[in-house]
Structure 1
């Protein structure tokens, strides 16, 4: 096994090398275009991701490579805790999407806005790429309102300070709702953890990552791991969990003053809305960070 990092802005983690379809070509290309991929899929295509995609890795996110086969790497994602493996979330990614770990691992900062340009130089530098919300990078130095960050394969780039926060900075429940609300109206994407599409636990996991909280990737693991509180004592910024009788938790969202901020399901968009009666019947637990 070896330790590498995602060297593309976003790479999708698949159940196996044979999982991608023709429509998924933009996501598996050597330089993936997740925005174009998400835009190209209708509801039927998105439903077809069930059983194919698992999660996504963001730029510079570390992975443990277990095996390689036909241009694909079987990986574990340690920043995404999972009951599937004690070392991290398991799955497969194109090997071309991986590179050497950044040379620095100190003073991590997170991208707090949906997308941000990573520049070759501060202020007027050429854009190297666009990085997504919840991308976490090691900071190296600051100049002219910008932070230089370490990137895979020994590189570096600059991000504006106003799109970053230190993951060590204290946060509040209001911060969770404020960050999550940036994605109101975003179309649900099974396995999504980026600004181009989120699933229910992808939203709660990614927002938590920005705030320096490493929680499990999947809803049922979040329910099993986080501190449970009585449902009638849940406060804005806490989590609601949903399950059908005799089944594991299948849905999660942030408790909000309105009701719940959540990525609902395929074919719908991220919303902050009261809980409808059919949703309340499956509300089984609440948790607090």
Structure 2
């Protein structure tokens, strides 16, 4: 296997090279337009992603390539722990979405706003791309309110300091809710881990990534690997998990003062709301981060 990195802002991970449909062309293009792809799909089309998409990679995220076939790479995502493989979340992405690892891996910073413009020079120059929330990059220099970051294939760019935080900076439970609240009203996207769409565990995973907390990608793995606590001890910022008798955990959200902040399901939008009776009936566990 070889270690590379995602070199596009968002690369969607698929179950197989033949999983994408015609309507998914914008997501698998050599320069994907995930915003346009998400906008193009109605609820029925989004439901069709079940069994096709798995997760998403963000710019500069490390990737292990297991094999290559017909322009596609079978990959593992080490930053997304999974019970499916001890080395990281498995799936397939277009090989054109992958490049060489950034040259530096120190002083990591994360994007804390929905999207941020990567610039060629501090505060000026040609925009190099629009990067998503939770993109983590190595910082190499600071100047005039901007941070220089290492990018794949030996490049670099600049991001405004006010859109970044050090992932090594301590955080508090309220930070999780503050960051999650930026996406209230965002339409649910199966497999989504970017500002253009999130699923339930995508929300919790990416918010934690910004805060320097590496947790599993999927809800059932989060429940299995994190410190479980009694339901009546859960505080805002902790995690709630949901499941049915004899079934795998199928949903997760952040406990909140209202009830729960979560990406509900396909056809609905990210909300912070009281727990409905049917939801409360499947609340089975809580965990502290």
Place the TM-score, normalised by the shorter chain, in its bin. over 0.9
Question: Which secondary structure state, in structure 2, belongs to the residue aligned with residue 56 of structure 1?
Answer: strand
Q: Offset at 1:247?
A: 0.2
Q: Offset at 1:60?
A: 0.2
Task: Give the distance between the partners of 1:109 and 1:274, measured in 2 at CA.
Answer: 34
2:27 counterpart residue number? 27
Task: Give the distance between the partners of 2:153 and 2:173, measured in 1 at CA.
Answer: 36
1:15 counterpart residue number? 15
Question: Which secondary structure state, in structure 2, belongs to the residue aligned with residue 120 of structure 1?
Answer: strand
1:67 counterpart residue number? 67
1:54 counterpart residue number? 54
- Cα deviation, 1:48-85, whole Å, max 9, x if unaligned, reads 00000000000000000000000000000000000000
Q: Offset at 1:124?
A: 1.6
Alignment of 1:1-289 (within 5 A): 1-289=1-289
**Equivalent pairs, count:** 289
Question: Which secondary structure state, in structure 2, belongs to the residue aligned with residue 25 of structure 1?
Answer: helix
Q: Offset at 1:245?
A: 1.1
Question: Which secondary structure state, in structure 2, belongs to the residue aligned with residue 84 of structure 1?
Answer: coil
Q: Structure 1: which 5+ runs fail to align?
A: none
Q: Offset at 1:197?
A: 0.1
Q: Offset at 1:125?
A: 2.0
Task: Give the distance between the partners of 1:240 and 1:213, measured in 2 at CA.
Answer: 17
Task: Give the distance between the partners of 1:94 and 1:124, measured in 2 at CA.
Answer: 32
Task: Give the distance between the partners of 2:92 and 2:62, measured in 1 at CA.
Answer: 14
**TM-score, normalised by the number of residues in structure 1:** 1.00
Q: Deviating runs (4+, > 3 A) in structure 1?
A: none
Task: Give the distance between the partners of 1:52 and 1:174, measured in 2 at CA.
Answer: 34
**TM-score, normalised by the number of residues in structure 2:** 1.00
Question: Which secondary structure state, in structure 2, belongs to the residue aligned with residue 278 of structure 1?
Answer: helix
Cα RMSD (Å) of the superposition?
Answer: 0.3
Task: Give the distance between the partners of 2:196 and 2:129, measured in 1 at CA.
Answer: 15
Task: Give the distance between the partners of 1:94 and 1:176, measured in 2 at CA.
Answer: 32
Q: Offset at 1:126?
A: 1.4
